[in-house]
Chain A
Amino acid sequence: MTSVQLEVLLQTLISGLLLGGLYALIGIGMTLIMGVMKIINLAHGELMMVAMYIAYVLFSSFHIDPYLSILIAAPALFGLGVLLQKYLINPVLKVEAIIPENQVILTVGIGMVLANIATIIFSSDYKTTPVEYATKAWYLSDYWRESPIELSLSMPWSVSFCVALVITASLWFFLTKTDMGKSIRATAQDKDAALLMGVNVERMRVFTFGLGSALVGSAGCLFIPIYYLYPDLGGQFTLIAFVITILGGLGSTVGAIVGGLILGVFESLTATYAGMGWAPVGRFMIFVAALIFVPGGIMSLFKKRRLGK
């Protein structure tokens, strides 16, 4: 392997990991909702799109940095998620339906409505937030003059990755160290037993949907400095979140992190070595491979060993 080839490979892995960190954040939101509600939220990407438009408006009208807009977009998305859960999804959960997947279909509908509302308000033009640090990067040779290879680290990508890490770490702390977080995990594992322990399961559902929406909303704010925005972008990210959730094992937070990183690296590799257009193909190859070879998700491999089954 020549030094140029090594350079390309390392550079690809770095951008894959950075992308994977953001993917993980999107996946965690979906997997949390999946765990507690037992439904797949197919409006997940559209919720992210809404957050991105919030960040876009804040940037273009008030010159608020996209990273700071997390502080506004995440609570707003939390509220939106709570409303959706309380007034649309919960009523449908209670109805005895002809097909049990009614709630999933409902989320598809919610996604379509959100995408179309965005088209009406913002038109279907591509939008960006041209921040001045968009193309800034750190170069290895600046820090190590004799370095045989040259690597670069894009500043907005790195900042987004680090913020995603901080959010993920705080979420982990919340889920494992607080009673509220434990109650969410307990509800996901056995909702009747959680009810017996005094957990208000209904409220936990509403809160979790809000939390999942807030997480994907913050992912949206992290994406917008490095991505472009259009109303139909949601569907693509719903699929990405779905693949990550399947890959990580339904409802597993750690699985979603691992799944997100794997997907990010794999997509980055296909983009470099097979061409940009092949990245979605790579994504679905991973999806199909996961369904065939690790149907329980990555975490099920560890669990088998742990439980000795």
Chain B
Amino acid sequence: MLEIRNIDVFYGDVQVIWDVAFEVKKGEIVALIGANGAGKSTTLKTISGIVRPRKGEVIFDGAPIHTIEPYKLIEKGLALCPEARRLFVEMTVEENLDMGSLKGEAKKQRQKTKEMVFELFPRLGERRRQLAGTLSGGEQQMVAIGRGLMSLPKLLMFDEPSLGLAPILVREVFNVIKRIREAGTTVLIVEQNTKQTLAVADRAYVLETGKITLQGTGQGLLNDEHVKKAYLGV
């Protein structure tokens, strides 16, 4: 479904991504793990068109997407829950969800999808008229995920969904991600929370200083000596 073909990404003259290549197949949960500054977020930004690769290609659903305008991606079925949620804090929960469904089919299905989101997160239904900025961190993450779902994406990408959340909420977020996949959406997660991410991921790639150094199934990597030492602290 999504194919990253040997991309090089630069910030000015500084190269941050070196020849990165990976693939997300339909129906999978794929994780991209690595330390701070490894290039995880840059990779996601490249996929969502905010940063352009200097070399290589990003293919989604068989067509290159690294050349088209970033605002057109959501129509193609590619949505991102950005790092730190990035909600529209002075808009209500419901308006935030509306913003996720501005185009095409998603707009037609808006009411139906909204009901589905409120079913998934009953708390949001209760607070639909509340300003997003007044919600707790966990609730804000729910709005961010809900907003991503509103576009009826084929592939939903998560950038650090557990960032800044209490452990019990982190578990809830990962449960929700599993349910989203069960409902038929392919998922790509970028995380520093290695243990829980690998536990839900079908396959994972380890990114270190801008290069992919390891890949395997989520379980396989959990038992990998290098991953254990470098990321799990055992």
Contacts from A to B (Cβ < 8 Å): 179, 182-183, 185-186, 189-190, 192-201, 306-308
Would A201 and B71 count as touching, CB distance under 8 A?
A: yes
Which listed residue, A198, A201, A306, touches B131 by the CB 8 Å rule? Answer: A306
Contacts of B86 in A (CB 8 A): 190, 192-193, 196
For this complex, 24 residue pairs linking A to B, each with C-beta atoms less than 8 Å apart, are A182-B91, A182-B95, A183-B99, A183-B102, A185-B91, A186-B88, A186-B91, A190-B88, A192-B82, A193-B86, A194-B88, A195-B71, A196-B70, A196-B86, A197-B74, A197-B99, A198-B72, A198-B75, A198-B151, A199-B102, A200-B71, A306-B134, A307-B131, A307-B133
**CB contact under 8 A between A196 and B80, given known A189-B91, A190-B86, A306-B131:** yes
Question: What 15 new A-B contacts, CB under 8 Å, besides A179-B107, A182-B91, A307-B133?
Answer: A179-B98, A182-B95, A182-B99, A186-B88, A189-B91, A193-B86, A194-B99, A195-B70, A196-B74, A196-B80, A197-B100, A198-B72, A198-B103, A199-B102, A200-B69
Tell me whether chain A's interface is mostly helix, strand or loop, or mixed.
helix
Kindly state the separation between the CA atoms of A190 and B89 in the bound complex, as whole angstroms. 9
> Given the known A-B contacts A185-B91, A190-B88, A201-B71, are A196 and B82 also in contact in the complex, defined by CB atoms under 8 Å?
yes
Given contacts A182-B99, A185-B91, contact A193 B82 (CB under 8 A): yes
Residue in A189, A192, A195, A197 whose Cβ sees the most chain B Cβ within 10 Å: A197
Verify B48–A196 contact, CB threshold 8 A.
Answer: yes
8 cross-chain pairs, A with B, having the tightest CB-CB distances, nearest first: A198-B74, A193-B86, A189-B88, A197-B99, A186-B88, A200-B71, A198-B102, A198-B71
Alpha-carbon separation in the docked complex, A195 to B98 (Å): 14
Q: How far is the CA of A183 from the CA of B96 in the complex (A)?
A: 10
- The answer to whether B89 and A189 have CB atoms under 8 Å apart is yes
Residues from chain B with a CB closer than 8 A to the CB of A190 are: 86-88
B-chain residues with CB within 8 Å of residue A182 when the two chains form the complex: 91, 95, 98-99
Q: With an 8 A cutoff between CB atoms, is B90 at the interface?
A: yes
**Closest Cβ neighbor of A200 among chain B residues:** B71
